[in-house]
Structure 1
Amino acid sequence: MKESWRWYGDLDRITLPEVAQTGASGIVTALHEIPYGEVWERSVIAERNQRIKGAGFDWVMVESLPVHENIKRGEGDLERLYANYRQSMANLAAEGVKTICYNFMPLIDWTRTDLTAPVARGGACLRFDAPRMAAFEIHMLDRKAALDDYPEAVIEQAGAWYKASTEQDRADLLHAIMSGLPGAYDRYDVEGLKTALKTYEGIDRAEIRANFKRFLEAIVPTAEELGMRLCVHPDDPPRDILGLPRVVSSEEDIAWVMDAVEARSNGLTLCAGSLGAGIHNDIPHIAERFSDRIHFAHLRNVRHDPDQSGSFEEADHLGGGTDMVALISVLLGEEARRREEGREDAEIPFRPDHGHDLLSDRERGAHPGYALIGRMKGLAELRGVIAGLSWRAAKA
């Protein structure tokens, strides 16, 4: 498995020479400065690629080439957006970058309510607290339909939290929820988010799926022609958020995506943490079922609150609810099968996802979830599992 590291380019507080000390050999990055829907010019891609190679890495994965909101809503000049996406793909392929991770989450990306939840023995982690999310939706956004989205106990806790909260508490909650948006883009304030949500009014799950299928039909043939791999990232968390339908949240959803356009290039980013946030998901089983279409893996773990309210937080990479040893065993088995077939994509890139803030991480101020020391710890743990399983397989 190819050890990789997510790097935000000039927006990152972590430098490539520092990443080199983690032992990772692949870089996962994107041109976050380019507005959604615009073409990634080959010259800009080449400059980024040369910079990565000059530091001793391979650019193994684009994360992400964003899907414009109009594509998700199915409105506007879709043919221009599809054409721009295809041209960006061609420009990436011309520079030897042939795998793209993307998502189809409406409006916002991963969602957390706390960026610095305390960890038992020190440090901090990302957390999704269902009562606080409910408080945000019901009381701050005044989205009354959210009353149907949460259990009564969570709604009561949400009301109590909001009543006791200060203006700063509410500002911190908004900041945390908006922090999942990538790159340098402006975050919404409450009124701005209300306005943005209105653009999705009347769009249900079936329509999002139809728009997703239209996108795949427009893009996957080009990926096939270019020898590229597309790998959809699951929803995080795997549930509807803010009343927005999410359609990559379960094994059934992934099967629908894979079947929407039957091609190996229409693949999956196996994100153990995103899928693991749903107690209904069996991650090693999902990996086994879709192993032939996994082009990238995000390896992390989450711990669910025992009250089953839907709250969870980032655990140690080898802790939490997902059997990481079993999952990695599936991925190594798939690599072995691909090598027997002589496939050029036999090695599956992975990255340690969402590390804890440990030691001096907090002082650095890196992107939430993307601390240096916390991710390096996770990478070391995952490396040990891979080494152990590989040794056992070699001895068998």
Structure 2
Amino acid sequence: MRQTWRWFGPKDLVSIDDMMQAGVEGVVSALHHIPTGAVWTAEEIARRQALIGVMKDGSPSGLKWDVVESLPVSEDIKKQKGDWRAHIEAWKASMRALRGAGIEVICYNFMPVLDWTRTDLAHRRPNGATCMRFDLIDFAAFDIHILARPDAAGDFPEAVVDEATRRFAAMSDDDKAALAQNVVFGLPGAAENFSLEDVRAHLAEYDRLSPETLRGHMIDFLSEVAPLAQELGVRLCCHPDDPPFTLLGLPRVMSTEADYRTVLDAVDLPANGVTLCAGSLGARPDNDLPGMMQRLADRVHFLHLRNVTRESDQIMGSFHEAEHLGGGTDMVALIAAVLREERRRRAEGRADHQIPFRPDHGQDILDDLTRKAQPGYPSIGRLKGLAELRGIMTALDHPAEGLRA
């Protein structure tokens, strides 16, 4: 398992030096400043690689840009409207440029409008740490009473609607503004700029677009880009919906193992693969992460290892981001399944036998609480998670007590 770390670029408050001291082996990054639908040029890619390659004092870091996360898929592609064909060609051009720079793994997602959704970006835990949380009641209050989406109440159980109404009535104006800002933070690159009217306009574009239609558009997209990826030697890996259930009336098509299997079978190429995100998929009680790793193993190209604590047994329910070994996913069993797949790949002589992973997210602890890094991406919280995951890997692979074949 190749230990990587997400880096948001030169504005990231977690530095290359921090990554070096964490002992990571590679970097996950993206060119967030380039508008969605535009081409990532060789020059821009090389500029990011150069930044990754040096420490603050100019010394070489020895780190490389291993995984792209994410090369964004435009809303036009998802809806098959406007400039969607031109955007696919731009995506292909970006993929060629990335492969020309030596990068082989590209993560993307096919979530409409929202990249991810949380209602609280700094939920306080009993020990004083903070984490991100999705509260179903708060989200219903936002959807029904703040966004005022038509017929929103029909998407929630009656008890949730009643409690959301009571909670909304007790909110101050500041509470309402903070909730709206937290939800809108999941809009790509628009955390501080999107208004509620912007959100409503985006949602209107998906009105009456069914999950089946969106899935068909995704298969059309992959039918265009996956053959080129196969030819170039690039591994594409789709990130699951976060959270893995319907929100705001939007279709969701990558929330379960069955969703992945449908898309993998429809475009049946090794290059068409999976980003197995234990946190996103783990927010749903019917997703068995160790089993999914075992059954989808051949097409898993990238791993996000994090954990969530579900606060109900319902498909749509509240959850918060737990410590890496403290949530609902059996992380030891999941890593054991990964190591078994890596051994199988090595025995077959596969060049991609080492699967990159990153310690996804993390709770804000110690100095994280004042550093104010990107929500979900603290330095010390991720370092703690990486150390825990590294310990499991080391123990399972140890010749004395290691994983049995």
Partner of 1:296: 302
User: Among 117, 122, 126, which residue is 2:123 paired with?
Assistant: 117
Pair 1:87 & 2:93 matched: yes
Indicate yes or no: 2:219 matched with 1:210.
no
Q: How many residues align?
A: 396
CA distance in 2, matches of 1:134, 1:245: 17
Match of 1:61 in 2: 67
State the one-letter code of the partner of 2:23: G
Matches within 5 A, 1:256-271: 256-271=262-277
What is aligned with 2:200?
194
Matches for 1:268-287 after TM superposition, within 5 Å: 268-287=274-293
3-state secondary structure, aligned to 1:269: strand
Alignment of 1:96-107 (within 5 A): 96-107=102-113
Contact 2:285 2:313 in 1 (8 A): no
Paired with 1:69 and 1:186, the residues of 2 have a C-alpha distance of: 19
Partners of 1:264 and 1:114 in 2: CA distance = 38
Q: TM-score, normalised by structure 2?
A: 0.95
Q: Give the SS at the match of 2:382.
A: helix
Mapped partners of 1:26, 1:373: distance in 2: 18
Q: Does 1:393 align with 2:402?
A: yes
Aligned 1:85-164 pairs, distance under 5 A: 85-164=91-170
Greater Cα offset, 115-124 or 34-43: 115-124
Displacement of 1:184 after TM fit? Answer: 6.4
Q: Please give the TM-score of this superposition, normalised by the length of structure 1.
A: 0.97
Shift of the alpha carbon at 1:122? Answer: 1.6
> What secondary structure does 2:22 align onto?
coil
CA-atom RMSD in angstroms: 1.4
Is contact 2:242-2:280 (8 Å) kept?
Answer: yes
Q: 3-state DSSP class of the match of 2:194?
A: coil
Query: In the alignment, is the contact (CA less than 8 A) between 1:301 and 1:321 conserved in 2?
Result: yes
Contact kept? 1:11, 1:184, Cα under 8 Å: no
Cα deviation 1:171-206 (Å, max 9, x = unaligned): 111111122234467542212211121111121111
Q: Within 1, Cα distance between the matches of 2:150 and 2:44? A: 45
Secondary structure at the residue paired with 2:345?
helix
Deviates more, 1:183-192 or 1:273-282: 183-192
Partner of 2:22: 22
Deviates more, 1:77-86 or 1:87-96: 77-86
1:306 to partner: Cα distance: 4.0
Tell me by how many angstroms 1:393 deviates: 3.3
Structural mapping, 1:327-366, within 5 Å: 327-366=334-373
Deviation at 1:50, TM superposition (A): 2.2
Give the CA deviation at 1:119.
Answer: 1.2
State the shift of 1:339 in Å.
0.5
In structure 2, relative to structure 1, the CA distance for the partners of 1:143 and 1:375 (3 Å cut) is same
Shift of 1:45: 0.4
Q: CA deviation at 1:156?
A: 1.2
Matched residue, 1:236: 242
**Letter in structure 2 aligned against 1:284:** P
Question: Which whole-Å CA distance do the structure 2 matches of 1:123 and 1:394 have between them?
Answer: 33
The 2-side partners of 1:149 and 1:28 are apart by 36
Q: Deviations over 1:250-300 (max 9, x none)?
A: 111011111120001000000000000011111111111100000000001
Aligned to 1:43: 43
More deviation, 17-26/224-233: 17-26
Match of 2:57 in 1: none
Matched residue type, 1:362: L
* Closer, same or farther: CA 272–395 of 1 in aligned 2, 3 Å: closer
Offset at residue 10 of structure 1 (A): 1.9
Letter in 2 for 1:9: G
C-alpha separation in 2, matches of 1:24 and 1:141: 41
In the alignment, which of 55, 61, 80 is matched to residue 74 of structure 1? 80
CA distance in 2 between partners of 1:149 and 1:341 (Å): 48
Q: What's the offset of the Cα at 1:51?
A: 2.1
Identity of aligned residues (%): 49
